[in-house]
Amino acid sequence: MDTGLRNYLVITAGYWAFTLTDGAIRMLVVLYFHLLGYSPFEVAMLFLFYEFFGIVTNLAGGWLGAHMGLNLTMHLGMGIQILALSMLTVPDAWLTVAYVMTAQALSGIAKDLNKMSAKASIKTLLPKGRESRLFKWVAILTGSKNALKGAGFFLGALLLQLAGFRGALLILAGSLAVILTLSVILLPRGLGRSKTRPGFSHIFSKNPAINWLSAARFFLFGARDIWFVVALPVYLYAVLGWPFSQVGAFLAAWVIVYGLVQACVPAVIRRGSGPDGRTARLWAFVLAVFPAGIAIALQQGLEHNSVIIIGLFAFGAVFAINSAVHSFLIIAWSERDRVSMNVGFYYMANAAGRLSGTVLSGWIYQTQGLIGCLWWSTGFVLAAALLSLRLPQTRPG
């Protein structure tokens, strides 16, 4: 096994372990604090700092990765996640909104340090002359990560039911500490460190293609989170009467299928060296059909369980194609020596979209219901499609 592939596998394994804890903590917080009597909007606000600090972290994290090495930023993210998990094990009386928001801020910093580091590392690990592997490596890493995040949703709900809130958090923190130790031992130092040591002003991309792609990414992920983060779990539990374990299992199955589709996208889109701006534009317009279709079906009084289950899985499959295309384009359009900076900037837009979607998810669901969330989602997808009109129509090398 060549060294690049070995390091890719170590990074992927660490990313998987981190993603399990990230999905689990999200489900634990949503369900447990809803159980404590928090309103949907209050639950959404618990994730405000999680998403906000993701914006800051992606900007600063790309610069740190270029200066210090991507392995260091990835390990730093794991350590911060262990701290965030441990913070929530205090008694209920300590779990004020401000305290939980602080813990979620740390978790958001950890998640985006880890994600930026793992994805940017692919470009540096790929041997020159083997760029044909890039689409496949990116799709596998991203798709498997999302499948594991779905498993994390189920794991969080299951651990909440079996071990309680604090027991679940301790199990997750201990497991991640073991993985962190192994990753520190196995990965080389200075991975992805830039030779030019760019100044902090270089965190903002000067590449028009990356700027337009980042803007489209903002609306793409905002469209998903407007109805998926808070509105859907609360709707399934409070309106349709699903138990916690069923909510967790369903959302887990959705994200797992979403991740598996994402990993298979290179087999679906066979375009030589990979997709281009036209591919991103086409699939964004296709995606807009699905939240609108679900909203119309619910408004027409069709059976809600069937509409939600079928509609959500159809939306997820097409969303996975959109996400995989975007994830490939940001790495393919980045120079090797600037990849961490560009990926950091791009995922800053991603985090901003999630922040907007999360806040809107709680507010719109509380004021307009799930159907309102779906129509807002449709608008966000259309905005992503229109922004994609400005993407280059040439294939990345």
Can you say how many angstroms the Cα of residue 155 is from the centroid of all Cα atoms in its chain? Answer: 17
CATH superfamily of 3-189+207-390: MFS general substrate transporter like domains (1.20.1250.20)
> Whole-angstrom Cα distance, residue 215 to residue 213?
5
Specify the pLDDT at position 290: 94
> Whole-angstrom Cα distance, residue 283 to residue 241?
34
Taking only the tens of pLDDT, the chain with its 397 residues reads 556 666 777 777 788 888 888 888 888 887 788 777 777 777 777 777 777 777 777 777 666 666 666 677 788 888 988 998 898 888 877 877 788 888 888 888 888 787 777 766 666 666 555 555 666 767 777 777 777 777 787 788 888 888 888 888 899 889 889 888 887 787 766 565 555 555 545 555 567 788 888 899 999 999 998 988 788 888 888 888 888 778 877 887 887 888 788 877 777 776 555 677 888 889 999 999 999 999 999 999 888 888 988 998 899 889 989 988 888 888 777 766 566 677 777 878 888 898 888 888 888 888 888 899 999 999 999 999 999 998 887 655 5
> Whole-angstrom Cα distance, residue 56 to residue 63?
11
The domain ranges of the chain are 3-189+207-390
> Whole-angstrom Cα distance, residue 255 to residue 155?
13
Specify the pLDDT at position 196: 55
| Burial (CB count within 10 angstroms: exposed 0-12, middle 13-18, buried 19+), residue 374 | buried
pTM: 0.71
